[in-house]
Structure 1
Amino acid sequence: MEHSEAERVGALHALGVLDTPREERYDRVVRLAQQIFGVGAAAVNLVDADRQWTKAEVGLPGLVNTPRRDSFCARTVEHPGALVVPDAAADDRFRANPFVRGDPPVRFYAGHPLRAPGGERIGSLCLTDPVPRELTAREQAILAELAGLVEHELAAQHEIDHAGQVQRMLMPRTAPSVPGWDLAARWAPARELGGDFYDWWVQDGRLQLHVADVMGKGLPAALLAASVRAVLHGSARYNDQRAAVDRAGAALESILEDTGTFVTAFAARVDLGTGVLDYVDAGHGLAVVCDPTGAHRRLCSSGLPLGALPGSTWEPRTERLAPGETLLVISDGLLDYFPDVPAALARAGRAVADSAGCEELVERVLRFALERGLDDDVTVLALRRAG
Structure 2
Amino acid sequence: MRVFNFSAGPAMMPQEVLEQAQAELLDWQNTGMSVAEVSHRSKEFVACAAHTEELLRQIMGIGPDFKVLFIQGGAFGQFADVPLNLSKPGDVVDFVLTGQWGTKAFKEAKKFGVQATVVADEKSSNYTTTPAQGSIRPTPGSAYLHYTPNETIGGVEFGYVPETGDVPLVADLSSTILSRPIDVSKFGVIYAGTQKNMGPAGMAVVIVRDDLLDRARPDTPSIWNYRLMAENNSMLNTPPTFSIYLLGKILEWVDARGGLEGMEERNRTKAETLYSFVDSSGFYSNPVAHDSRSWMNVPFLMANSELNKQFVAEAAEAGLTNLAGHRSVGGMRASIYNAMPQAGVDALIDFMKEFERVHA
Q: Report the TM-score range of the alignment, normalised by the length of the smaller protein.
A: under 0.3
Structure 1 length normalisation: TM-score? 0.23
Structure 2 length normalisation: TM-score? 0.24
